[in-house]
Structure 1
Amino acid sequence: MDLTGAIKHIKVKAKQVNNLPSGLRILVDFNEQDSAYGDAQGLLAGFLGILACNCNLFPIDFERWTGKVGIPEDYFNDCFATIIKVRFSFKTTKALAKRYCKISMGKKWSAHKQRLWSEFNIPTKTIDEIIRNVPNGIDKDQWVRFVQYRMKPSTQERCRKNKENRSKQVIPHTGGSKANSRRRHEIFLETGKLPSRAQMYILTHTKKGWILCQ
């Protein structure tokens, strides 16, 4: 959508969003459950993931995404105002759009840190060796503080408990990475009916959930 409100159909990937012409924004639809859906949702999710993994915007050496030991609120507010809002137009209120983006980015930021640790935490190496092996694109000082935090006994114990709790999950999620709001919209386009919450649960936790939603 351009500055005049005219809607244009273009092909763009998440990595190309920053290269959009000035004044052109991607229109994101929201459903009655205040969730984004459609192709723009996938594009938004990909772009938010790129931002969340940028350690210059959101350092990895904070313990959490929110809270007293989390990333300061101003970091996200500035990112939303100067980067996200100028490239996306949300068909919902500003407050709901910010909330949706913040939650999505928090999940991606946490997953990014977990991937880094899983890849570079080699049991046969000492903490000094891990610290020296700085991942590409990560600030060296942030990496040092991140590794030191992850190696703390209290952090390792919490990770052990989380892993144990995940192993007790008896009903696996089979929906993949696609957002439920987008999947729900696709079902509506296919069947003409919006699936209930119960049907969505079955769909994302069984291999034959589609049959129950038709």
Structure 2
Amino acid sequence: MLNFSRLIHTGQQLMDEPYVFSSQVKQVFYSKDPTDEDWYVVLRNTPRDLFDMGNGSRDEIVERSETLPFPEQNLDENIPRKMRRKRLRDLSIVQNTPNSEEGNSEQQTVVGSSNVPETLDEPEEFQTESGGTRRVRGRTLLRDLYDLDPVERVKVSRNTHGQPVGSEARLLVGYLGILARNANMLPINYESWYHMPDSNKNQALANIKERFALEVSDDYIKRALGKRWRDNKSTLKKQYFKQDISLKENLRNVPPGMLRYQWEDAVRFWNSKKGEDRERVGTSSRQKQKFTHMVGSRSFASVAEAEEVKSGQKVGCLQLFEITHRKKDGSPMASEAGEIMEKLKEKKAEYEAIASSDSSVNLENIDNRIITEVLGPERYGRVRFQGSGVTPTQYFGSGSQQYMPSGSQAQAEVQRLRDQIAQMQANMVEQIAEVQRKYEELQQQLRAEAVEREAVAAAREAEARSMVAEQSKKYDDLQLQLQQMMHMFQQSQKPPS
């Protein structure tokens, strides 16, 4: 860190010569520390790619540098396209006029297809316990996204539920992860995404719209960005915050590319009682999840859309669960997932048997009821196997009851709610008794303290009376001595007889 208001070499002396060799110089940036006035954090600039354009002269080498967390500059316009990466595939691109307003489709025209990387991730070498190495997924960089012209943007389409779909959606998700790791734009030293200032969120949203033409809502993008921001904090905590070392050591263990003051604030929160309580809640919630999906960085919406394009038929919830929870060899990704699949198949067979003899049973939208009977009612504000951003009202309709249990399942649910209410009442009675007990203990403590204070006050009063009596006695003695002295003086003034 530097303080420019306290310069050491000011040029006043001969030793303040500013000349240095170019080999001794490194480019850095200075970011003002918001917590310490006049202090600046030094951010180093790491060279990433060098492109030799011919004879290797200095003027014909274009250098791209990686800052926090990605380069803002584009490649020089003189660089031929054939010099750029070849791992590309087509995606939808729209052209935006310089002063067009966001969302004005009349000023945006499709100009064809451009290029995106087949893989969003930069591979890394990982050291194994046996001493060897293996290639693993690295940090998402999306370097080819910067090959787009300034007026071009990637068009991200949405499905009927407002979720991004297609290859562009995966590219958008990768870019959200890059922004979420940008400590300057989205600092990690806020307790939650709710406490993140709107100015930071809007800055990130504006940055996204510079590269993407979005059909999804701004609220969806902000929620998705908040999810990636929380994931980034969780990753940093898992890798660099250690429970078995001291707070001082954790404060010094700043991750690469992270601003020190942000890391220190985050570490102090994680080390506090509130942070530890939040960690316990999160750990408990995570342990309840017995298995997860197998689609990687693709969303459920993108998987469903790709399957519908492939088969030409609508993909239901049961089919989507099968697709997203099986390995490449077709086996369930976990035994729990396999058991749920079997139960869903059995329920499906039961309803199909009923429908064969009862024409009033509609099998078109029965998947949701089957899932509800096997896995229980939907949680508030979400729909199973549909991904983020889909609510029950949006998916089922405001007047639909398809997602609600019926028959014996409804009775079981009512009984469960009654048992839950009874348990809550019992807990409330226990809490009231505990509060009453603590209140009585507090009253006894207050009474004991009052008695103690009265005893102390009485002792002080007795001591004060004793002091007053002693002072009065001394005063009387002095008065008596004074009278005796006056009497002796008067005697000495009388003439002898």
TM-score between both structures, scaled by the size of structure 1: 0.86
Could you say which residue in structure 2 is the equivalent of 1:160? 280
Q: Where do 5+ consecutive residues of structure 2 fail to align?
A: 1-93, 97-107, 118-141, 333-344, 346-497
Counterparts of 2:300 and 2:175 in 1: how far apart (Å)?
18
**Of the two structures, which has the highest relative contact order with CA contacts closer than 8 Å and spacing of 6 or more?**
1
Partner SS for 2:111: coil
Distance 1:178 1:185, change over 3 A: same
Could you say which residue in structure 2 is the equivalent of 1:151? 271
1:85 maps to which of 176, 200, 209: 209
> For this pair of structures, how many residues does the alignment match?
204
Q: CA RMSD in A?
A: 2.3
CA contact (8 A) 1:173 1:205 kept: yes
1:188 maps to which of 301, 308, 315: 308
1:59 maps to which of 187, 209, 222: 187
1:50 maps to which of 174, 178, 182: 178
The alpha carbon displacement at 1:122 in A equals 2.2
Flag the structure with higher strand content: 2
1:105 maps to which of 217, 222, 225: 225
The alpha carbon displacement at 1:180 in A equals 0.8
Counterparts of 2:306 and 2:145 in 1: how far apart (Å)?
24
CA contact (8 A) 2:189 2:262 kept: yes
1:84 is aligned with what amino acid?
I
Q: Structure 1, residues 102-135: CA drift from partner, whole Å, max 9, x if none?
A: 1111111000000000001223321111111111
Flag the structure with higher helix content: 1
Aligned pairs for 1:16-35 within 5 A? 16-35=144-163
Could you say which residue in structure 2 is the equivalent of 1:11? 115
2:247 is aligned with what amino acid?
I
TM-score between both structures, scaled by the size of structure 2: 0.39
Counterparts of 2:290 and 2:144 in 1: how far apart (Å)?
40
CA contact (8 A) 2:170 2:297 kept: no
Partner SS for 2:219: helix
CA contact (8 A) 1:130 1:147 kept: yes
CA contact (8 A) 1:202 1:209 kept: no
The alpha carbon displacement at 1:157 in A equals 2.0
1:55 is aligned with what amino acid?
A
Q: Is 1:138 the equivalent of 2:242?
A: no
Partner SS for 2:193: coil
Q: Structure 1, residues 70-94: CA drift from partner, whole Å, max 9, x if none?
A: 101121112222x11121112x3xx
Q: Where do 5+ consecutive residues of structure 1 fail to align?
A: none
Distance 1:5 1:172, change over 3 A: closer
Q: Structure 1, residues 129-166: CA drift from partner, whole Å, max 9, x if none?
A: 11111111111100000100011122112211221222
Larger radius of gyration: 2
Could you say which residue in structure 2 is the equivalent of 1:2? 95
